[in-house]
Amino acid sequence: MKFIDTHAHLHFDSYNKDRDEVIRHAFQKGAKAIINVGTDEATSKQAIELARKYKNLFATAGWHPHDATSFDEEKLISLLEDKTIIALGEIGLDYYRNLSPKDVQKRVFEAQLKIGIERKLPIIIHDRNAHEDIFNILKKHKPERVVFHCFSGDYNFALEILQQGWYISFTGSVTFDRGHYYGIIRDVPDDRYFVETDSPFLTPYPYRGKRNSPEYVEYIIQHIAEIKQKSPKEVARQTTENAENFFSLHKKLD
């Protein structure tokens, strides 16, 4: 069963001892591609370095809202020039931890959105407890390709996102918060969602509490397949096709 993990952070320190093994094993287990997501200048550079090392491992660059106070527009533009970069992100707002002031988060989010739109890049959104502000800013700027990574909103917010032509992405959370996600998974159109691990975080059941890995996408797929009353193979095929289209991977995959 082939799959694409559309959001991981394999450059994070928790993989320092066995990073190469984790990546190799993920591809052996069926990963067709892994998208390694930057969260500031340093991690975006690390994502690029890994993407240069491994076939079918791609990078993104962006400033996470936690790191909004360190945002540098010129540095972001420079990072986005690298040929391994396939998307802008993750960017957005986080009102749960508020590690950066809200006004700074909004300003930096809008600045990055403009850069992504100018370059016609897919945009990976981080949204935590900031649904209304995120939605209003996106509607103002009207980017074409948007995915809400690690979707955490309710059913009605999912509908609003889908009505705009945007996408949602499911993590291991769906395996241990079934009640919250059941209706969303059941009703999301087959061509409008992805699967992701957000490794090393949000490890799906039955490995919850341990470090996550892209190979665990299979447990997310199995859970979605059960709710949608489809085979895991069909969900894997559909989400892979969705990711290939959204991130324009067809000519990049080896």
Can you tell me the distance from the alpha carbon of 76 to that of 11, in angstroms, rounded to the nearest whole number? Answer: 18
Can you tell me the distance from the alpha carbon of 139 to that of 114, in angstroms, rounded to the nearest whole number? Answer: 13
Q: What is the pLDDT of residues 142-187, one digit of tens each?
A: 999 999 999 999 999 999 999 999 999 999 999 998 899 999 999 9
The reported pLDDT for the residue numbered 196 is 99
Claim: this prediction has a pTM higher than 0.95: yes
The reported pLDDT for the residue numbered 251 is 87
User: Residue 150: which region, alpha, beta or left (left: phi > 0; alpha: psi -120 to 50)?
Assistant: left
Residue 98 pLDDT level (bands cut at 50, 70, 90): confident
CATH 3.20.20.140 fits 3-246, yes or no: yes
Tokens of 152: 């955490």
The reported pLDDT for the residue numbered 56 is 98
Does 254 score more than 90 pLDDT? no
Vertex 200, ends 241 and 253: CA angle to 5°? 30
The reported pLDDT for the residue numbered 156 is 98
CA–CA distances in Å: residue 178 to residues 46, 136, 139, 146, 170: 34, 28, 30, 25, 12
Can you tell me the distance from the alpha carbon of 231 to that of 47, in angstroms, rounded to the nearest whole number? Answer: 33
| Greatest Cα-to-Cα distance within the chain, rounded to the nearest angstrom | 47
Rg (CA), the chain: 17
Can you tell me the distance from the alpha carbon of 188 to that of 40, in angstroms, rounded to the nearest whole number? Answer: 31
Does 76 score more than 90 pLDDT? yes
Q: Domain segments of the chain: what residues?
A: 3-246
Q: What is the DSSP secondary-structure string of 190-207?
A: TTSEEE---BTSSPPTTS
Q: Which residues contact 222 (CB under 8 A, 6 or more apart)?
A: 232
